[in-house]
């Protein structure tokens, strides 16, 4: 349970650091997926691709 809280906090920090224009382009569903989903849909990856660091 503690691990889940940490992940949510990291994702929230990541979301908060996105430029306003990008955040505004996300639907409420995409925001929820960003913050909570184990796997993102391709549409979300496309909107965020310039901010994703490939490992």
Residue 24: per-residue pLDDT: 94
**Is residue 51 predicted with pLDDT exceeding 90?**
no
Residue 7: per-residue pLDDT: 64
Among 55, 50, 54, 53, CA closest to 22 = 50
**Is residue 54 predicted with pLDDT exceeding 60?**
yes
* Alpha carbon 53 to its chain's center: 13
Neighbour count for residue 30 (Cβ, 10 Å) = 18
C-alpha span between 1 and 55 (Å, rounded): 26
Q: Tens digits of per-residue pLDDT, 4-38?
A: 666 689 999 999 999 999 999 999 999 999 999 99
Residue 52: per-residue pLDDT: 80
Residue 8: per-residue pLDDT: 85
């Amino acid at each position: 349970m503690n691990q889940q809280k940490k992940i949510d906090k990291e994702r929230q920090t990541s979301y908060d650091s996105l430029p306003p224009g990008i955040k505004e382009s996300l639907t409420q569903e995409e925001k929820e997926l960003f913050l909570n989903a184990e796997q993102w849909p391709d549409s979300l990856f496309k909107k965020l691709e310039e901010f994703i660091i490939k490992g």
